[in-house]
Structure 1
Amino acid sequence: MAMATDSSTSEGGLDLGSLLSTLKRRLWLIAGVTATITAAAGVRAYLSPPTYSAAFEILIQPQSAETEVISSLSEVPVNQQERELTLADQTKILTSPGVLQPVVADLRAKGLEGCVPPNQAATTGLSEEELNSICYSRIKSRLGVQLTKDSRIFQAVYRGDSSQNVEYIANLIAQTFLDYGLASRQRDLQQGLNFLDDKIPDARDRVDELQVNLQNLRQGSNLITPDAEGNKLSSQIAAFENEYRAVLVELEENLTLYEELQRQLTQRPQDASVSSVLSSNSRYQALVEQLLALDSQIAQASTIFRNTSDDMQVLQEQRQNLLALMAREGANAQQELMGNINVLASREAALASTLANLNVDVGQLAGVTREFTDLERELTIANTNLSQLLQRRETLQIEAAQRELPWELITPAAVATDVANLTNNLVLGGLLGLLLGVGLALALDSQKDVLYTARDLKRVTPVPILGLIPHNGAVEQGYDEQHLLALYQTVDEMLNGKGPKKGELPIEDLYTYREAFRSLVANLQRLDADRPLRSIVISSADNQLADSTTAAYLAWAAAELGNRVLLIDADFRFPHLHNFLELPNQQGFANILAGELDLKNVIKRSPTEPNLFVLTTGTTDVDPARLLSSTKMKQFVAKTESYFDLVIYDSPPFAEYADAALLSAESSGMVLVSHLGTVKTAQLEQALEKLWISKIPLIGLIAKEAANKLALLPV
């Protein structure tokens, strides 16, 4: 049968319920430890002699002069984390032997705080260094220095047994701290000056180098500043570009005129007069007028004379002469226009060459300008750094000459009496005792490794818990377990007032007990509706603990719910069920398996519950394991499962004997009883591992509580 996984199993984290259960179980231990520690704290507070303390506060400068110089020059300020680390280190430095050496020398000279004076050193057999170390250790053990959070204030407290000595030593330590602050300040100033003395020559050399480079650049490029030269080149380029564009326009116009004139001259000469070039030529225009007049005469003469007449020949000859003159005048105009075109072309080429040269100069000037700008920027930075270095050196020299105290005693030493506060000690002792008690309780509980609650079971295994059986409180009232079954049978009558009076018997406990087993039966029936359980083996995970009562009450509850139930005592080694049910045990289960008797001859029916049948162990000399693994056993299981709705085998502890495993192999599976408060994690895990190795079907667990959680009725 498959084992269902409980979805409520804890997946890690703090199990508050288990923790509270542990604390409740160990309540007396926790209370005892708490009371003891509280009492000890109270006695200590009452008997402790008074002590004296003197506290003072000093405001210090956390940043050294050298750090300020480096930060200002590099433009990278000291961050807050570095500042806090510096202050934290300062607390350790203040309590170091080097700083407290003047205090050690003074106390040794006066013989205070147990420090040995120098004139008595020979009697101790110790060296001066060892005596100084002992005195320093005593001072440091009574001195506390701490930094006030988010501030530059140190608070120092010195404690001792004498108010006068405490006040004197506190003032001495305060003055020592102030002297140390002044010495540290002077040392830092000197380090800053040394740093500046190293940096200033380098800064001067850098300025000189940049100035020489800038001078060489000006001389090599023959300019004062790139801006002036750039403006000059820009003006020249603009002027030449304007002139170049004008020449191009004029050249284009002349070329157009030349082409137009050439085209017209190839046509009728008189038509060429419309050309813009010839229209302004007076000689050509005069020839055109003469030609027009002559053409008019020829037209008039042609009406009178023949073309071959002398008069017409004279007129035609005159006309040819005029045309020749006009052609020669047009050619002259064409040559003059070509001359203008050649001049303009020469000017255009010269201007283009000049502009190209100017553009080359501009490109060269761009590189010079970039280099010039870089040098000027570097020179400005170098001059600024040099000025800062010189100014900072002058400032540090003034500060070093002034010898002002960088630290300030803002709260002088004041003596206070430290009397142990009884109330505070009791409260602290109680809290400490409570913590120790809880820790001890948890440690003991963990060491015992006992499972106390169903939650503990879920933590150990995913096997489903079929039911939680409460502790039977009637046993604590003096009732014997074997008499409780009879009372169990009459619970309904007692609740209805038909049986013994309610106040005379633990009715509520028995009712709760019965309902728990009924719920257990219901859970077993719901496990697999398609394949109902026909036979189950009841065994215990405890090595030395059998559980016949669980099997008996389970059988009775199943019978009450209408099932024909056979309860079999299969514990051949330590039979107990017949005593619990007050039945004879001369013949029983063992005799049937041995083939001596038949089932119907030894089975017994309950006189009060008709659905319940009981089969005791019986007696035999045959080995129980041999009986349970025999063919008779297989036949017996098949026979009983056909006669009864449910067969319950009460078997010995599973971890101790093989009987339960042999029975489970023939039945529907095993139900393992875990006695909370008794069963250990290792026992349960060992039993589960054995079941897994043996491939025995485990139906589930029954958890039986260790202590009664219900109120008991008086008997």
Structure 2
Amino acid sequence: METEQTSQVLTSNVRGRAFVQPPIDPDEAENQANRGLNLRSLGRTVQRQALLIAGVATLVAVGASYLAMREPPTYEGDFRILVEPITTEGRLSDPVSLTRSDGGVPNRDVFAVDYTTQIQVLLTPRRLNQIVQDVQAQYPNFSYENLVQGLTVQRLSVENSPDPTRIIQVAFEGGDPGLVQKVLRVTADRYLEYSLEDRKTRTGEGIRFIEDQLPAVEQRVSQIQDELQQIQQQNGLIDPDLQGGQLSSRVDDIVTLELQTDRDLQEQQILFANLQRQLDNLTPEQAIAASALSEDPNYQALQTQLQDVQGQIATQSSRFGSNSPVLRSLEAQRANLEALLSQRAAEVVGPENVGNAQVQAFQNSVRLDLTNQLVTARNQIEVLQTRLREIQASRQQFEGQLQQFPGISRRYADLTRELEISTQTLNRLRNQLETLRIESAQTEVPWELISDPLIPRDAQGDPIPQPSRASRIVIAGAALGLILGTLLALLLERYRNVYYAVDDVQESIPLPLVGVIPFSRGAKQSFDFPSTFSTEEIDDSRLGTASFREAFSDLYSNIRLAEPPIRSLMVCSAEPGDGKTTTALYLAQTAAGAGQKVLLVDTNLRLPQIHNRLDLPNTKGLSGLLSNDLVVDDLIQRSSLADTLYVLTAGPSIPGSARLLGSDRMKSLMDKFEMEYDLVIYDTPHLFGLTDASFLTTQVDEILMVIAANKTNRTVVDRVINKLTMVRPTGVSLVTNYLKESNSPSGSSLNRYQNVVQPRQNQIGGRL
């Protein structure tokens, strides 16, 4: 059994113990990186199932060979068509040049072909059915399926040339050379006809399209022209850009004039207020009335007479009494003059101003001049106000036009642009219509048949068949057989769902692997070999036994070198029959042979085996210690295998004895054992389906789970480990045990493992 990974470290954290992790080996890291592809797992599967894969591959290859022998001969011919001109002369002579090159050498883009699309068009059912109908005139049994199966249309490419050719190669393959020749000839004729019909069809469709589009485009051009004319007439537009600038300048001039008029108006209003204040706040009408009275001679004469009469009355009043006839005559004269004055004033200034002292007061030349200025200022104010109102009205009018002008200008520009585009479209459509009419009149075939439809023939003129596909069929059959065999092998291993080798265990379980036990005949019966030895001193007949014993020496070394030391461990397995009892026995013997005082405890109270393997009595044992008050030392027996190996058998089975493993009595016994022995090993029942060993998982320093290669079920192991790690996240390690000689490593494999083990142990230097 291989021991390649026996030096891997136990990374447990047991009852407060913390262990040092070993450095990662570069080779191991590379192996882990490669596991992501599962190539090694696939290789191991192929190696294990080589006979199955070879058998399936052989059967499929034989079937393919039988089919290859029945393969009839086939014949293949082809022809080639040039679909684009390749020289300047060819491009100049092409009819398309007359309409698309303006008299010069046409560009290659004029003749460019989408080859992928063109080939798909050539392979449409419509084209192929025409070919089938023509061929059926001579070969009635020829069908559409025969044509599709044998016809190949592709763009010809030259090896080592970066650019493909402008040639389409058409080939047909069949069992009748005459039929092949007929199909090639009909296909060539049909494809050449198609090239001419396609051009005519395309030009005809283009002509119909343009003729359908022309009326709408012409109508659109006419509508735009009418709308432009209407805008020009309504808004007087000739040059919108120039007129827009002129309108903006005119608005600026009006605004300037409005500001000047407003300033003049304000100045005249200030002058008028000052003059009116100087004339005692007379209104212009009152000032005019006062001036008129002052300049009226009649009024002034009456005023003079009244003053004379008043003077006389004043003189006579001092001489005569109030009833004097003289005074009465003078007063009557004064009253008459006052009436005349009032009457004259009413005639001159109007009745409303009669009695106004300011109006009837005498106006000198200064006041008369101020009155003239006041009247002039008022007149100027009225003129300026009238002018300002007219200017403001004009400004509003032009500003309204200016606000509307951008919209009108934009609409005019949009219509002008649309007219230009529509006119260009109309011109292009008319030019293209004439071009297509010229092209539609052409009758020359656009494509050129540069290679006639032919089948290769020998010197006698007989058709040469295609090389046989038998070898390819056989190779394909063999490859298919290998693939089917591999798939069948993978399905078989998936169905068995077991670990076949130590590599499978390492790839599937993320726990440290600390031991690999090879197969050994008589391992269950024989313990008769030394505990330490060198493989160089053993002959070939005992090499298997030596390898078996060396594997346990490596396993014990991993346990021995742990820091802090491991004082107790339990050996368990997921299923019965995985070799846990054998592992526990030989591990105990190896440790005892190394000089340690070892106690082997059989905790399998359901089906104990230790006493049978060591030929010891089992009348009393662990069950008695747990159920009765017995003395421990009286029940522990010394083994004949080594002086320092002691055994505590399971004892007779009693009802409920399995539950006693979780009792306080068991815990105290385990503590006592650790104090008295260098190493205590517990052989437990299998874990799947039983809870016996679960009581011990948290009480030992380390747990060794034995997995039997080619036997232990993967699903069972996953369930057990998941349950085990929930109770104890660390301190669980794996041992792979080979129960069959067929898959057990030996010889060079073991030497390779042993060469790897020692350097790794030296690197760790303590706890592995």
Partner residue of 2:528 out of 486, 505, 514? 486
Contact 2:518–2:548 (CA under 8 A) maintained in structure 1: no
Partner residue of 2:514 out of 467, 480, 488? 467
1:516 aligns with 2:544: no
1:14 aligns with 2:37: yes
Shift in Å at residue 264 of structure 1? Answer: 13
Identity rate of aligned residues, in percent?
27
Counterpart for residue 194 of structure 1: 208
Deviations 1:526-565, CA, capped at 9 Å, x for gaps: 6xx69x66463x3332344443220112223444566532
Amino acid at match of 1:14: L
Q: Secondary structure at the match of 1:110?
A: coil
Contact 2:579–2:708 (CA under 8 A) maintained in structure 1: no
Question: Can you give the 5+ residue segments of structure 1 that lack an aligned partner in the other structure?
Answer: 62-82, 117-133, 267-323
1:679 aligns with 2:712: yes
1:567 aligns with 2:600: yes
Counterpart for residue 611 of structure 1: 644
- Looking at both structures, which has the greater relative contact order when contacts are Cα pairs under 8 Å and sequence separation is at least 6? 2
Shift in Å at residue 159 of structure 1? Answer: 0.6
Contact 2:228–2:412 (CA under 8 A) maintained in structure 1: yes
The within-5 A match list for 1:381-396 is: 381-396=421-436
Are the structure 2 counterparts of residues 447 and 181 from structure 1 closer, same or farther at C-alpha, using a change threshold of 3 Å? farther
Deviations 1:319-353, CA, capped at 9 Å, x for gaps: xxxxx878877987898788778767765665554
Are the structure 2 counterparts of residues 580 and 544 from structure 1 closer, same or farther at C-alpha, using a change threshold of 3 Å? closer
Amino acid at match of 2:206: G
Amino acid at match of 2:584: A
Contact 1:143–1:159 (CA under 8 A) maintained in structure 2: yes
Counterpart for residue 137 of structure 2: 109
Counterpart for residue 139 of structure 1: 147
Deviations 1:361-380, CA, capped at 9 Å, x for gaps: 33343333233223222222
Contact 2:77–2:454 (CA under 8 A) maintained in structure 1: yes
RMSD, aligned α-carbons? 5.2
* TM-score (ref. length: structure 1): 0.66
Amino acid at match of 2:672: S
Contact 2:499–2:711 (CA under 8 A) maintained in structure 1: yes
1:443 aligns with 2:491: yes
Shift in Å at residue 577 of structure 1? Answer: 3.9
2-structure distance, mates of 1:326, 1:602:
159
Q: Secondary structure at the match of 2:37?
A: coil
Shift in Å at residue 53 of structure 1? Answer: 1.7
1-structure distance, mates of 2:259, 2:622:
133
The within-5 A match list for 1:249-648 is: 350-405=390-445, 409=449, 412-415=452-455, 417-420=465-468, 431-453=479-501, 456-457=504-505, 464-465=511-512, 467-472=514-519, 475=520, 479-482=521-524, 485-491=527-533, 494=534, 505-506=542-543, 509-510=547-548, 512-522=550-560, 534=568, 536=570, 538-559=571-592, 563-570=596-603, 576-578=609-611, 580-581=613-614, 583-585=615-617, 587=619, 589=621, 592=624, 599-601=632-634, 603-606=636-639, 609-616=642-649, 620=652, 623=653, 626-629=656-659, 635=665, 638-639=668-669, 641-643=671-673, 644-645=676-677, 646-648=679-681
1:24 aligns with 2:32: no
1:702 aligns with 2:734: yes
Partner residue of 1:166 out of 157, 165, 180? 180
Amino acid at match of 1:443: L
Contact 1:588–1:615 (CA under 8 A) maintained in structure 2: no
The within-5 A match list for 1:205-284 is: 205-227=219-241, 229-230=243-244, 233=247, 236-237=250-251
Are the structure 2 counterparts of residues 637 and 613 from structure 1 closer, same or farther at C-alpha, using a change threshold of 3 Å? farther
2-structure distance, mates of 1:25, 1:45:
31
2-structure distance, mates of 1:637, 1:610:
27
Amino acid at match of 1:172: V
Shift in Å at residue 480 of structure 1? Answer: 2.6
2-structure distance, mates of 1:441, 1:226:
89
Deviations 1:659-706, CA, capped at 9 Å, x for gaps: 65677799788643211222122332454577699x799963433154
Contact 1:465–1:701 (CA under 8 A) maintained in structure 2: yes
Aligned length: 594
Contact 1:625–1:659 (CA under 8 A) maintained in structure 2: no
Deviations 1:163-193, CA, capped at 9 Å, x for gaps: 3432331221232233344434433433333
Deviations 1:422-452, CA, capped at 9 Å, x for gaps: 7766765555444444333323222221223
Amino acid at match of 2:43: L
Contact 1:652–1:659 (CA under 8 A) maintained in structure 2: yes
Counterpart for residue 128 of structure 2: 100
Counterpart for residue 711 of structure 1: 747
Shift in Å at residue 109 of structure 1? Answer: 1.9
1:649 aligns with 2:682: yes
Q: Secondary structure at the match of 2:498?
A: coil
Contact 2:502–2:516 (CA under 8 A) maintained in structure 1: no
Amino acid at match of 2:185: N
Amino acid at match of 1:700: V
Shift in Å at residue 642 of structure 1? Answer: 1.0
Are the structure 2 counterparts of residues 339 and 702 from structure 1 closer, same or farther at C-alpha, using a change threshold of 3 Å? closer
Question: Can you give the 5+ residue segments of structure 2 that lack an aligned partner in the other structure?
Answer: 1-11, 85-111, 158-162, 281-363, 457-464, 752-768
Contact 2:611–2:618 (CA under 8 A) maintained in structure 1: no
Shift in Å at residue 711 of structure 1? Answer: 1.8
Shift in Å at residue 202 of structure 1? Answer: 1.9
1-structure distance, mates of 2:241, 2:390:
27
Amino acid at match of 1:141: Q
Amino acid at match of 1:468: G
Amino acid at match of 1:704: T
Shift in Å at residue 591 of structure 1? Answer: 8.3
2-structure distance, mates of 1:325, 1:655:
143
Contact 1:535–1:641 (CA under 8 A) maintained in structure 2: no
* TM-score (ref. length: structure 2): 0.62
2-structure distance, mates of 1:326, 1:696:
130
Q: Secondary structure at the match of 1:418?
A: coil
Are the structure 2 counterparts of residues 512 and 626 from structure 1 closer, same or farther at C-alpha, using a change threshold of 3 Å? same
Are the structure 2 counterparts of residues 240 and 218 from structure 1 closer, same or farther at C-alpha, using a change threshold of 3 Å? same
Are the structure 2 counterparts of residues 584 and 358 from structure 1 closer, same or farther at C-alpha, using a change threshold of 3 Å? closer
Are the structure 2 counterparts of residues 258 and 568 from structure 1 closer, same or farther at C-alpha, using a change threshold of 3 Å? closer
2-structure distance, mates of 1:21, 1:398:
75
Contact 2:515–2:551 (CA under 8 A) maintained in structure 1: no
Contact 1:521–1:557 (CA under 8 A) maintained in structure 2: no
Amino acid at match of 2:418: E
Are the structure 2 counterparts of residues 15 and 557 from structure 1 closer, same or farther at C-alpha, using a change threshold of 3 Å? same
Amino acid at match of 1:105: Q
